[in-house]
Structure 1
């Protein structure tokens, strides 16, 4: 069922005015996820399992507490991470160069 809103339109040349129902977009914050066990809308909580993976679970008054799996479309990255260094990346030899030694006092700024 599409989301309907009431629109007040003023009368003008060639059309009549009045209150009309039109479709409007629905914001993602107004949508709830269904509990996989009960099939009812629920809030989402996050917790870590014993193996350290972060999962979503159903929480709320009538929620089962079951783990809600992530959709397959969200598991893949839309923009893949670059594997080769770009023109603005710092070369690895400059990154690994040691410029500060606390014991010898090398690299300390003159204050």
Structure 2
């Protein structure tokens, strides 16, 4: 077997025996870690993980952005309806009831 395989077998052996020398087991774990980090396969797997994470993050961000955009668009439409209703002389109480907006929404957007 190659060196990595030998180190893996040795580490499993250390674990099975419950080696008491913490320094020795740490040395071999560190050695295994260094071998792993030097492996092109490890870097390929890591890169694939990063790419997958980016894609999932982008997909989730896009999904949230669309939801927020729709929500904002609905509010804009309600505000425009409220503005027209006010211009047509509807009572504020009726505007609030029909649009589902709050008095604060109307004030913040210069409708009242």
TM beyond 0.5: no
TM-score of the superposed pair, with normalisation by structure 1: 0.25
When you count helix as a share of all residues, which structure comes out higher?
Answer: 2
Higher RCO structure (Cα 8 Å, ≥6 apart): 2
TM-score of the superposed pair, with normalisation by structure 2: 0.25
